Amino acid sequence: MAQQKKMVEAITSMETDFAKWYTDVVVKAELCEYSSVRGCIVFRPYGYAIWENIQKILDERFKATGHQNVYMPMLIPESLLQKEKDHVVGFAPECAWVTMGGEDTLTERLCVRPTSETLFCEHFAHVIHSYRDLPMLYNQWCSVMRWEKTTRPFLRTSEFLWQEGHTMHETAEEAVNETLQMLNIYADFCEDSLAIPVLKGEKTPKEKFAGAEATYTIEAMMHNGVALQSGTSHFFGDGFARAFNIQFTGRDNKLAYPFQTSWGVSTRLIGGIIMTHGDDNGLVLPPAIAPIQLVIIPIAQHKEGVLEKAKEVFEKVKPIARVKLDDSDNSPGWKFSEYEMKGVPLRLELGPKDIEKNQCVLVRRDTREKIVVSLDELETAIPQALQAVHDGLYEKALENRKNRTWDAHNWEEFQSIAAEKSGFIRAMWCGDEACEDKIKDETGLKSRCIPFGEEPVGETCVCCGRPAKKLVYWGRQY
């Protein structure tokens, strides 16, 4: 127990210092490590395995909806980046620039891709000729680089891993449908696989992606009430197509510009998982993406028959869950603490007395609830318990969001909630960027989104009092 105590003491409590708790968890759970490259992290095996599980689920969903993977160069010539004017203004300030190749200074500098719209457009211009080539539904898994001033593991790093979908369509309507389809895939993934409830909505013009006509977003709320933009999906109209001269011969035999989308989620989702579900004992992982879903810990393993039985149980469970048997020399208490820190959703304890009764004890990571289960019923009990952990995590996160969401009907109310509470404020907005700026400057809250399908909470702008039709969620953000 001394070791266990030491381990738990090693992380800061969430209530004491949420930021410190977060960095303690990412290090102690061995998700990542700092590198000597400014703002870049090393993804350690346990952290990378979470990303591989995320990739696997999303990649299947992308392919099931007709998308194909491709790979574009990691460098973008400056002249190519400049072709779409809003886009370059948005991204140039945070580009890392390659200016030398071997011993030679380059005649044109190249940026390490911060996103790949320009490369995809150059390619689309070569391969799209006719309406028969459309829709073109591409996705790319890669790393991107944005020269950030302040960084935090997973949430904001100079380099991060992501996927970026890029599609081209015959009509604007079809492209908008694609944009929303992918937003829904992201939202379903967050809820079904990560147990993270998300708001779906549209970004205000000020918060749109550089070069987009409309940006849709899923917004999650972290345990401390701070928002995390967890995925975005953009409708570009034909703006990039015109800038890159991408044209196709339509069904009417006339040349036309296609309509474009792009959409992405990144390794910041790992940060979202940590901050949505974690607690003072460490990480808590949703079962769908947990590298280890169940850890078997033998009790009094030196006693005859315990390890043999544990191995038997391991073999039985292997086909139905990602399972690990820890038969190392560490004490059970040390192991409990270790796998709690690593957020393993279920622990299976098996000792001599359990074996006598042909049973074991399942312990949920989220609630620590213990269930005694017959060894003959593991095949049904384990999937049920994993589902219960998932459902429990989701409900708790949803409850937290409900408890931390307030309506503000006037400016005083808005200011007082912003000053006293941490969470989302729902308030009406006139649509004027000046009001959005004032809210940001005076309260630190930014617009999260104009939510889909929610009723207005008033008729006038919370900031200026003029008539307002748009309901907006406001919040602090990572």
8 Å CB contact between 404 and 225: yes
As measured in angstroms, the least distance from the Cβ of 228 to its own copies is 21
Size of the site for its own copies (CB under 8 A): 52
- Measure the CA–CA gap between 404 and 398, rounded to whole angstroms: 10
Question: Does position 66 bind its own copies by CB under 8 A?
Answer: no
Specify the stretch interacting with its own copies by CB under 8 A; choose among 75-83, 202-210, 222-230, 299-307.
75-83
One of 1, 19, 42, 372 touching its own copies (CB under 8 A): 42
* Ramachandran sector of residue 211 (left: φ over 0; alpha: ψ -120 to 50; beta: rest): left
Choice between 151 and 443, CB closer to its own copies: 151
Out of 8, 70, 320, 464, name the contact with its own copies by CB under 8 A: 70
Does 256 engage in binding with its own copies (CB under 8 A)? no
Give the closest residue to 374 by CA, choosing from 358, 362, 389: 358
At closest approach, how far in Å is the CB of 294 from its own copies? 19
Scanning 16-24, 45-53, 210-218, 337-345 for contacts with its own copies by CB under 8 A, the matching segment is: 45-53
Please tell me the distance from the alpha carbon of residue 229 to that of residue 154, in angstroms, as a whole number: 13
Binding span for its own copies by CB under 8 A among 12-20, 69-77, 201-209, 352-360: 69-77
Q: Which residues 6+ apart lie within 8 Å of 402 measured at CB?
A: none
Kind of pairing, strands 346-350 and 359-364?
antiparallel
Which candidate, 9, 252, 260, 262, places its Cα nearest to that of 130? 252
CA separation (Å) from 264 to 4, 232, 404? 40, 6, 27
Residue ranges in 109-138 that form contacts with its own copies under rule CB under 8 A: 109-110, 112, 119, 122-123, 126-127, 138
Q: Kindly identify the residues of this chain, within the stretch 93-112, that bind its own copies according to CB under 8 A.
A: 93-103, 109-110, 112
State the Cα–Cα distance between residues 37 and 159, nearest whole angstrom.
10
| Region of 90-98, 169-177, 188-196, 438-446 interacting with its own copies (CB under 8 A) | 90-98
Nearer to its own copies among residue 48 and residue 131 (C-beta): 48
Q: Shortest distance, CB of residue 141 to its own copies, whole angstroms?
A: 10
**Can residue 472 be called a binding residue for its own copies (CB under 8 A)?**
no
- Look up tokens 């303690």; give the residue: 24
Q: Residue 298 in 3-state DSSP?
A: strand
Binding to its own copies by residue 41, rule CB under 8 A?
A: yes
Nearer to its own copies, 161 or 196 (CB): 161
In a 3-state reduction of DSSP, which class is residue 373?
strand
Residues 315, 375: contact at Cβ < 8 Å?
A: no
CB 299 within 8 A of CB 287: no
Q: Is 33 a binder of its own copies (CB under 8 A)? A: yes
DSSP 160-203: EEEEEEEEEESSHHHHHHHHHHHHHHHHHHHHHTS---EEEEE-
Q: Does 408 bind its own copies (CB under 8 A)?
A: no
Among residues 3, 28, 57, 77, the one that binds its own copies under rule CB under 8 A: 77
Nearer CB in complex with its own copies: 100/419: 100
* Minimal distance, residue 178 CB to its own copies, in Å: 17
- Positions in 303-362 near its own copies (CB under 8 A): none
Place of tokens 């109209």: 237
- Measured from the CB atom, is 159 or 202 closer to its own copies? 159
Structure tokens at 427: 């308030």
By the 8 A CB rule, do 109 and 78 touch? yes
For residues 368 and 156, give the distance between their C-alpha atoms in angstroms, rounded to a whole number. Answer: 32
Q: Among 89-97, 206-214, 249-257, 269-277, which window interacts with its own copies (CB under 8 A)?
A: 89-97
d(CA 219, CA 401): 11
- Using DSSP, state whether 52 is helix, strand or coil: helix
Q: How far is the CB of 68 from its own copies (least distance, A)?
A: 4
Q: In 10 A of CB 26, how many CB atoms?
A: 24
* DSSP symbol at 282: B
Question: Please, which residue, 74 or 398, has the CB nearer to its own copies?
Answer: 74
Q: Cβ of residue 402: shortest distance to its own copies, in angstroms?
A: 36
Beta carbon of residue 121, minimum distance to its own copies (angstroms, whole number): 11
When asked if residue 35 is in the footprint of its own copies (CB under 8 A), the reply is yes
The CB-of-273 to its own copies minimum distance in angstroms stands at: 17
What the block records as the tokens of 53 is 């599980």
The reply to whether omega before 135 is within 30° of 0 (cis) is yes
Interaction between residue 161 and its own copies (CB under 8 A): yes
Shortest separation between residue 403's beta carbon and its own copies, angstroms: 36
Minimum separation from the CB atom of position 92 to its own copies (A): 8
The residue within the footprint of its own copies, chosen from 145, 168, 373, 418 (CB under 8 A), is 145
Note the residues at the interface with its own copies (CB under 8 A).
33, 35-38, 40-45, 48-49, 51-52, 68-77, 80, 93-103, 109-110, 112, 119, 122-123, 126-127, 138, 142-143, 145, 147, 159, 161
